[in-house]
Amino acid sequence: MNRIIINGCCGRMGRFLMDMIGETEGMQVVAGIDPFIPEGTDFGFPVYTSLDKAIEEADVVIDFSIASGVPSLLESVKKKGLGIVVATTGLDEDTRQLLREASKSVPVFFSANMSLGINLLKELIKKTAEVLGKDYDVEIIEKHHKMKKDAPSGTALALADALREVRDFQYVYGRKETEKARAEGELGIHAFRGGSIVGEHEVIFAGSNEVIEITHKAYSRELFARGAVRAAGYLKGKAPGFYSMEDMLSGEF
């Protein structure tokens, strides 16, 4: 049995995770963590305000919370010797470095996006950029709901980083200049916020006589929960180390 603790259990993603883990054979939620526990909450398992207070035996923590809480969570995970799947978005470079440091002590799984489709998209755009070369300009447009605070999205930046593995790009955000032509090697990254859009990412390759658009649209947050649950299954029993969606998927295809 893979015993799971959900960090951020009272949030929208936490509730998706509860349902999905409940439907997954060989997995069980043994505790939840959330600093804001609504009065009368009863999920069928104990809920604590911090991981340090949890007394249940567990294997893996799945974290869907806020970026500012990840550093302290990592300290608690190391103390307890638990694996952790970090699905929280908007992590800065300092926090990502903390993930790598923690991975020396415990197994850490991190992906900027838990969607299988997005991670396939990363491979597709790398191949496309490789084949088309410098004759094609590349831009990324991402769209999310109006409550999302970080911009551009972590996924958009992950797509940009994937492209930079095969071409030398300079990131340009928003294009505020009104009298400046596009320079060679620029990679434009644009963010839209509005309504209830779960998440859309479009990568555009524009040549002199044709345009290629590769798009991913998420219609439900359930797909992110599904990816995190698969990651938790993958992580159980792993040695300390830093694991990614690419590591997990390489063994499945």
Per-residue pLDDT, 251:
61
Answer yes or no: are the C-beta atoms of 191 and 197 closer than 8 Å.
no
Q: Is the pTM of this model over 0.85?
A: no
What integer pLDDT is reported at residue 91 of this predicted model?
87
Q: What is the pLDDT of residue 113?
A: 84
Q: Which of 148, 176, 180, 216 is catalytic?
A: 148
Q: Could you tell me which CATH number the domain at 116-218 has? A: 3.30.360.10
Are 2-114+221-250 and 116-218 in the same CATH fold? no
Alpha-carbon distance of 37 to 39, in angstroms, equals 6
What residue spans define the domains of the chain? 2-114+221-250, 116-218
pLDDT digits (tens, 9 = 90+) for 118-133: 988 999 999 999 999 9
**Would you give per-residue pLDDT tens digits along the chain (253 residues)?**
999 999 999 988 898 999 999 999 999 999 999 998 887 778 899 999 999 999 999 999 999 999 999 999 999 999 999 999 999 888 889 999 999 999 999 999 998 888 889 988 999 999 999 999 999 999 999 999 999 988 999 899 999 999 999 999 999 998 877 678 898 999 999 999 999 999 999 999 999 999 999 999 999 888 889 999 999 999 999 999 999 988 888 765 3
- The pLDDT, as a whole number, for residue 253 is 38
148 catalytic per annotation: yes
CATH number of 2-114+221-250: 3.40.50.720
Among candidate residues 143, 144, 201, 216, the one labeled active-site is 144
Active site residue 145: no
